[in-house]
Amino acid sequence: MSSTREKLIELLASQANTFVSGQWLSNQLQLSRTAVWKQIKQLEADGYRFQAVPNKGYRLIETPKKVSENTLFWGLSTKWLGKVIDHYEEISSTQIIASQHAQSGGQEGLVVVAEKQTAGKGRLNRAWDSNHHNGVWLSFILRPNLIPSHAPQLTLLTATVLARTIEKLTGVKPSIKWPNDILLNDRKIAGILTEMQAEQDAIHHVIIGIGININHKESDFDASIMKRATSLALETDKQYDKRVFIQTLLELFEGQYEAFLSHGFTPVKASWESYAYRFCDVVHYKAGKERAKGKIIGIASDGALMIEDALGNTKHLHSAEIDW
Ligand code: BTN
């Protein structure tokens, strides 16, 4: 938090649902009462609504729906994730900006959010369709004390957090399609891109990039993905507040990430499997030159999909084309 405006929002947030006097705000911010009043007027112009009562002061009753650093900060109950937010109306890719921040010493938990991305990045060097404001496009920095070979566990963890967030806000249970697509009613609703900078035995940083189709109409999708993609709005016939989605996601992530660092991968595995697409179904797949079929029985700690063949042997698929 740096600017006066941000400090004012922080103070009002810390006193949620109670009146704070102009004098108290002026003491805290070391500003005159008039300067505080001007700041409050500017917040009102941006869509914040206050109840002002003589001799009692101000009470914040509504924050704007618009996503910004300030509105995201308001009501966010995390300890470290999202305490620094870099928000853009339009940017090439939040992944690129987050990675620049990480290389210049950006702290763990720094989040980059964009309303639109002109060069959104997907997995396997694919483009990610995000040049419109109806989705949530964000990336954040982690600096975990893990060995690099455990980094794929962070992607699996993120998939479970995304699934939980969607379930919490929509009441509909999504599935996680290996390796890390989030589906609602068999169509892709969200994707995760994990990028890491590491030495042989230590991670410098990991950038977790998350894209979720929130309020898209069908016409918002590129023709090439229209049949395979969907949004929360299309699946549930409701519009969602992107700010609330981001805050819920960050709050759930922080808790689950800390639990993972303390208790290890086993609970993440269980959660992933509880959302797994076609769990216990028999699928056909191609791995290298081999074509085979087997039952999906789980996820391994390195991110491999575990398949059981007809003889009861378990195979670990690290890269395969699954005939879903
Ligand atoms: C996938 O291919 O499924 C992963 C898509 C990841 C997209 C997100 S949107 C926010 C962040 N910035 C990017 O450029 N990509 C990720």
pLDDT given for residue 137 in this prediction: 98
What is the predicted pLDDT for the residue at 143? 98
Residue length of the chain: 324
pLDDT in tens, the chain (324 residues): 457 887 888 888 777 678 999 999 999 999 999 999 999 998 888 788 889 899 899 888 877 778 888 789 878 999 999 999 999 999 999 999 999 999 999 999 999 999 999 999 999 999 999 999 999 999 999 999 999 999 999 999 999 999 999 999 999 999 999 988 999 999 999 999 999 999 999 999 999 999 999 999 999 998 889 899 999 999 999 999 999 999 999 999 999 999 999 999 999 999 999 999 999 999 999 999 999 999 999 999 999 999 999 999 999 999 999 999
Q: Do residues 141 and 98 lie in contact, with contact meaning Cβ atoms separated by under 8 Å?
A: yes
> What distance in Å separates the CA atoms of residue 34 and residue 279, rounded to the nearest whole number?
62
Ligand 1 atom nearest 121 alpha carbon:
14
For ligand 1, pick from 101, 121, 125, 212 the residue to mutate: most ligand atoms within 8 Å of CB: 121
Kindly give the distance from the C-alpha atom of residue 123 to the centroid of ligand 1, in angstroms, as a whole number: 7
Beta strands 203-213 and 49-53, pairing class:
unpaired
73 lines ligand 1 (CB under 6 A): no
Q: Which of 110, 115, 129, 130 to mutate to test the pocket of ligand 1 (most atoms within 8 A of CB)?
A: 130
What pLDDT is attached to residue 274? 98
Q: Spell out the residues 6+ positions from residue 274 whose beta carbon is closer than 8 angstroms to its own.
A: none
Decide whether any atom of ligand 1 lies within 6 Å of the 94 Cβ: yes
Ligand 1 pocket member 120 (CB < 6 A) = yes
Fold for 282-323, please state it.
Answer: SH3 type barrels. (2.30.30)
Q: Is the CB of 95 under 6 A from ligand 1?
A: yes
List the CATH code of the domain at 4-62: 1.10.10.10
Q: What is the DSSP letter of 304?
A: P
- Which residue among 95, 230, 250 is best mutated to probe the pocket of ligand 1, counting the most ligand atoms within 8 A of its Cβ? 95
State how far the Cα of 235 lies from the Cα of 187, in Å rounded to an integer. 10
- pLDDT reported for residue 75: 80
Query: Could you give the residue range(s) of every CATH 2.30.30.100 domain in the chain?
Result: 282-323
What ipTM describes this predicted complex? 0.99
Distance from C-alpha of 183 to C-alpha of 230, rounded to nearest angstrom? 8
Q: Which amino acid is at 170?
A: T
Enter the tokens of residue 4: 């006066």
Token pair in block for residue 198: 């590491």
- Residue 6, pLDDT score: 77
pLDDT for res 60:
86
CATH 1.10.10.10 range(s) for the chain read 4-62
CATH of 69-275, one of 3.10.129.10, 3.40.50.2300, 3.30.1360.230, 3.30.930.10: 3.30.930.10
From ligand 1's centre to the CA of 209, what distance in Å? 5
Domain with CATH 3.30.930.10 in the chain: 69-275
* Ligand 1 within 6 A of CB of 130: yes
Q: Which helix (H) or strand (E) holds 9?
A: helix 4-14
Q: Which pLDDT does position 1 carry in this prediction?
A: 43
DSSP string, 228-284: TB--HHHHHS----HHHHHHHHHHHHHHHHHHHHHH-SHHHHHHHHHHBTTTT-EEE
Of 100, 210, 213, 214, the one to substitute when testing ligand 1's pocket (max ligand atoms within 8 A of C-beta) is: 210
Instruction: Report the pLDDT value the prediction gives residue 287, as an integer from 0 to 100.
Output: 94
